[in-house]
Structure 1
Amino acid sequence: MRYVPQRQSFRIVEADADEMTEHYARTLSPAKVEPLVRGRRILVEDRHYSAGPFSIWSGKCHSGMKVTFSEPSDVYVLYIPLSSAMEIDAGRMRLTSDSGALLIGNMSRFEKLTIHENRGHIGIAFDKCAMVSQLSELLDMPILNDIELSATVEMSSPLGSRLAALGNLLWDCFDVEPDDRVSAIAADHLFRAAMVTILESVPHNYSERLARPVSPAMPRNLKRAIEYMVANIAQPMSVADIAREAGTSVRALQAAFQQFKDTTPLSFLRQMRLEGARRALADESNTFAIAEVARAWGFTHMGRFSAVYHEAFGQTPSETARLRGKRRG
C-alpha cells in the first residue's frame, strides 16, 4: 500500500538562534543552534514542506551557524547545494558538501552540522521506514540491519546530475501556488524515484545484493514450499515440515532458498508474516487489535513480534497503526 502524502509547509525569514532551534525541532530533529561567530545574529531564509514520510526544503544561511543534534531523526537526507559549503560530523566521519557536491547520509548518525556563510541548498528527507520498505521491495527480502549510507557525489557526475534534476523537479512541484502543484500521488512517486536512484547508485551495505543478476525461474519444490507457507501462514512449522510438504530434503530446500531467495526458509517465512502483518496494520478497513493481527500472521509472542517488526520496517506495530488512524482522519 502506498501512502498518499498530505502537505504541510513552514517559512522562516531572519530567524535568531532560538527560533532556528524551534524550527529544527518542528521540521527535522531536536537540536541546539548557534551562530558561527559568537554574539552574531543568525540570518536564515527557509521554506519547508512536509509530505507524509518525506519532506523537502530550500533555504539560505546568510550568516553561518552550527547545529548540534540532541536526538537525531531516523531519516535519510539528500542535500543538493546551491551555494557555499557545509560539513556534517558523524562519529569519526566528516562529510563536506560544497557548491559542487551533493551529500547523502543517515541523519540518525549525525552529531553536528556546520553551515557556512551564504550556504544555500535544497534538502530532502526520507523517513527510515520508507527507505527500508523501498529496499526490501527492490531485494524481495527482509532488511534487518540499518542501511549504512553516507556519501558525497559530484554534481558534474551522471548520478549527481540525475539526483539534482530530481531534487529540483520535486522542489518545483511544491514551491508553487497550490493550484499549480502536482497531485500527492505524483509527488509520492517522485520521492520514491529519488530513493530508488540513491539505493541503486550510492554504495551501501546492501549494494552487492542489489547488483546480483536476477535469478532464473524457481524450481518446482521451492514453489511448493512457498505455497505451503502461504496456505499455513499462521501455523507453527519447522524446516523439516516445509521440506516434507515440498517433496524434498531439508538440505535441498535450504540450498534452493539460498540460491533463489538469498535467505533461509524460516527467514523467508518470517518476512512473509511480517509483510502480511504490516499490510493488515496499515489497512484503513482493519478493525482488529495489534495482538489479533500478530496472531493471524503466526506471531504468538508480542514482545518478540514488536522487536522483529521494528528491525524490519524501522517503526513499531503501534506506529504503523497510528499512521493508519491519521489517514482516516
Structure 2
Amino acid sequence: MLKRFPLFSATDVDEHRARAQTIIPEIVRLEQLRPGRFSSTVEAIMLGEIHTGTAIASVGHTADLEVEAVGRRTVRLLIPTTSAISISSGARSREILGGGVAGLLPSNPLRLRYTPGHHLVLRIDRDKLDLALQAMDCDAEVDRILDAVFFEPRLPGLQDFAEHLRRLIATIDDKPARVLDQAMFRRAHEQNLVLRLADILALVRERGSTTVGRNSAALRRAVEYIRAYAERHVDLVAMARHAGLSLRSLQILFRANHDCTIVQFVRRHRLMLARERLERGEPETTVAEIARRSGFTHLGHFTAAYKEAFGEQPRQTLQRARRKPDP
C-alpha cells in the first residue's frame, strides 16, 4: 500500500524513532519492547500541508513497539490490518486486534502499543475539520468528542469510512503520477475525507457518545486463534473452546467490537495477508499461490472478494509491485 510514496525505512529502532519524531513531534518516547531484529517501512501521501495537513500513511514494522505521545493538534484515525494496537490514557484503555478495524485516537496524552505487522494512519487537518463541523451546525469541540469516544470502533459510519479510505488507497496505488500530482485531485479527496469524518463526529455529538467496556479476554483469545490459523482451516468450534465461550457469545462479541461476523473477520484478515504478499512483488510467485497461502481455497472467490475490498484485481497489485524499482 502506498509504496509509490516512500517516506523512510529503518533497520534499527533508534533510526525509526528519530525519523518518526521529525514527522510527528508529539512523540516523546518510542521503544522496542523485546530484543531482536528490527526493520520498518513507512509510506505516505500528503493531501494537504506537509507537517499538519491531511495525509495517509502505511506503516509496517517487525517488532513490538511502545509509543508515548502528548496532545495533538491533528486528528488521527488508525487502522491496524495485521498488527494489534492498544492505547491507554490515565485509567482508560482499549485495544483493536487487527483485521482492518478502525479507531480514532483521543487528543489527550496517551501510550500506544503496536504488535509487529502493518497498520494505516489517516491524519486530518484539525482546522479544516473544525470548519466542516461548523458548516454542519455542530458547535462541539473536536477534542471533547475524540476523548469521549476513546478509540471506539463502533461509531456509526466509522467502519464504512475506513473502507472508503482503503478504496482510496487502492485508487492512489493505481493512478498515474500525472493525475496524483494534480493539486485538484488531492484537494478533492482531502475535502471528501474531512467532510465524511466531520459527519461521523457530528452524529456522535447528536446522539451522545457510545459507551463500551474493555474488549473481553475471550475476544482476544479468539482473535489470537484466528491469526494463528488463518492460513489454514479455522475451526470455529476449536476457536470457541480456546476462547472459553460459546460460538453464539463470541459472535455477539465480534459484532459489538468489530462490526462483523466471525467469518467476515477471518476473511478480512486473510485479504490483508494476501495484499501484503502481493505488494512484495516476488518474481516467482503467482496470484493463485498467494491466495492459497493466505487461506483461500477458491481462486475465483478470492479474486472477487479482493476486488470488492481494494478496488482492483489481485494481479494488478502484483504487476504494479513488480514494476517498482528496488529501494
The offset of 1:191, in angstroms, is 2.9
Q: 1:144 to 1:102 in 2, by over 3 A?
A: closer
Q: 1:130 to 1:12 in 2, by over 3 A?
A: same
Say whether residues 1:27 and 2:26 are aligned partners. Answer: no
Q: Report the TM-score when normalising by structure 1.
A: 0.51
Q: 1:57 to 1:188 in 2, by over 3 A?
A: same
Q: Secondary structure at the match of 2:136?
A: helix
| 8 Å contact from structure 1 (residues 173, 182) kept in 2 | no
The answer for the alignment partner of 1:13 in structure 2 is 9
The answer for the alignment partner of 1:63 in structure 2 is 63
The offset of 1:206, in angstroms, is 2.9
The answer for the alignment partner of 2:129 in structure 1 is 131
Q: Report the TM-score when normalising by structure 2.
A: 0.51
What whole-Å deviation, never above 9, does each CA across 1:113-163 have from its counterpart, x for those lacking one?
A: 100022x11110112212111111111x65567342233326xx9835521
Distance 1:56 1:204 in 2: 24
Residue identity opposite 2:87 in structure 1 = I
Q: 1:22 to 1:147 in 2, by over 3 A?
A: same
Q: 1:202 to 1:123 in 2, by over 3 A?
A: same
| 8 Å contact from structure 2 (residues 130, 142) kept in 1 | no
Residue identity opposite 1:77 in structure 2 = R
- The alignment covers a number of residue pairs equal to 195
Distance 1:96 1:160 in 2: 16
The offset of 1:34, in angstroms, is 0.8
The answer for the alignment partner of 2:77 in structure 1 is 78
| RMSD value, Cα | 3.1
Distance 1:204 1:109 in 2: 21
Residue identity opposite 2:33 in structure 1 = L
| 8 Å contact from structure 1 (residues 95, 103) kept in 2 | no
Distance 1:23 1:158 in 2: 35
Distance 2:109 2:172 in 1: 27
What whole-Å deviation, never above 9, does each CA across 1:257-284 have from its counterpart, x for those lacking one?
A: xxxxxxxxxxxxxxxxxxxxxxxxxxxx
Residue identity opposite 2:108 in structure 1 = R
Could you tell me which runs of 5 or more consecutive residues in structure 2 were left unpaired when the two chains were aligned.
209-327
Distance 1:203 1:129 in 2: 15
Q: 1:170 to 1:43 in 2, by over 3 A?
A: same
Say whether residues 1:179 and 2:194 are aligned partners. Answer: no
Could you tell me which runs of 5 or more consecutive residues in structure 1 were left unpaired when the two chains were aligned.
1-7, 210-329
Identity %: 15
Residue identity opposite 1:33 in structure 2 = L
* Correspondence list, 1:1-329, <5 A: 10-31=6-27, 32-37=29-34, 39-50=35-46, 51-52=48-49, 53-69=53-69, 71-100=70-99, 101-106=101-106, 108-118=107-117, 120-139=118-137, 146-149=143-146, 150-153=150-153, 159-175=157-173, 178-181=177-180, 183-201=182-200, 206-208=205-207
Distance 2:83 2:169 in 1: 20
Distance 2:98 2:135 in 1: 34
